[in-house]
Amino acid sequence: MKKSYDDIDEYIADLKAEIEANDQCATHYYNLGLALLSKRDFVGAEGAFLDAVRNSPHLAEAYVQLGGICLERGDLEGCLRYNEEAANCRAKFPVPWSNIAFVHLQRGEPDKAIAALNKALKWDPDFLQARNALATAHYMKAEWDTCEKLCKEIIAKEPAFAPAWNNLALAQFEQGNYAAARESAKEAQRLGFEVPEGFLEELTLQGV
């Protein structure tokens, strides 16, 4: 039976002891990285994940976590590189494809983002974050009707997914449907999404 822990530091200490006894177990390093991440010890976590992939070069989840640490410090190139490595290790793993798309969106490259998101959704059609990112990519391409359609599909399945309501409001606004955009923005706010103040001001200027 696995030991249960109430104290994360005790768990970390036990993992380190297990690693000392067997320093070639990638799983122990990976779990240590996750535990250190929970304490926001990014430097320690990065070292643990690097040790994990040194011992298991095809551990895709560890590359994803390394990409997340890069993103935490604003290193988009590092985030992209590690997620590409994860996708190379496990092509059917949707998370790195979604993360690759996120980097392309941040760089203003919607076509590259769409290509990556189509791969993510091929392996996980119900991946809400990827579906919403796809809506964002089409919005960036000024394809308002496609963005609106994608948002409504997300909301039909998950009505409480606030980012989709925000994207829907943006698409509706661009199509001149100001009253509907205001209602969608209000719903996004009600669900806890911080709708940009500038957008709310634009809605007010339209008299809605």
Distance of CA 106 to the CA centre of its chain: 12
Q: Are 8 and 35 in contact (CB under 8 A)?
A: yes
Taking 80 as the threshold, does the pLDDT of residue 156 lie above it? yes
Over residues 109-144, the pLDDT tens digits come to: 999 999 999 999 999 999 999 999 999 999 999 999
Parent domain of 174:
142-208
Cα(33)–Cα(52) distance, rounded to whole angstroms? 9
User: At 181, which CATH number?
Assistant: 1.25.40
Total tally of structural domains belonging to the chain:
1
Taking 90 as the threshold, does the pLDDT of residue 83 lie above it? yes
Residue 13 lies in a domain: no
Average pLDDT, the chain: 94
- Evaluated on CA atoms 21, 26, 27, 28, the torsion sign reads positive
Residue 1 lies in a domain: no
Q: How far apart, in Å, are the Cα atoms of 42 and each of 11, 48, 49, 114, 169?
A: 17, 10, 10, 30, 36
Report helix, strand and coil shares of the chain as percent, to nearest 5: 75, 0, 25
Q: Are 110 and 79 in contact (CB under 8 A)?
A: no
Q: Are 185 and 203 in contact (CB under 8 A)?
A: yes
E strands, 45-166, are none
Residue 137 lies in a domain: no
Residue 157 lies in a domain: yes
Over residues 84-111, the pLDDT tens digits come to: 999 999 989 999 999 999 999 999 999 9
Cα(60)–Cα(58) distance, rounded to whole angstroms? 6
Residue 188 lies in a domain: yes
The arithmetic mean of pLDDT across residues 7-35, rounded, is 92
Q: Are 77 and 106 in contact (CB under 8 A)?
A: no
82 closest CA partner among 154, 33, 155, 131? 33
Residue 34 lies in a domain: no
Over residues 160-179, the pLDDT tens digits come to: 999 999 999 999 999 999 99
Taking 80 as the threshold, does the pLDDT of residue 39 lie above it? yes
In the prediction, which pLDDT does 178 show? 95
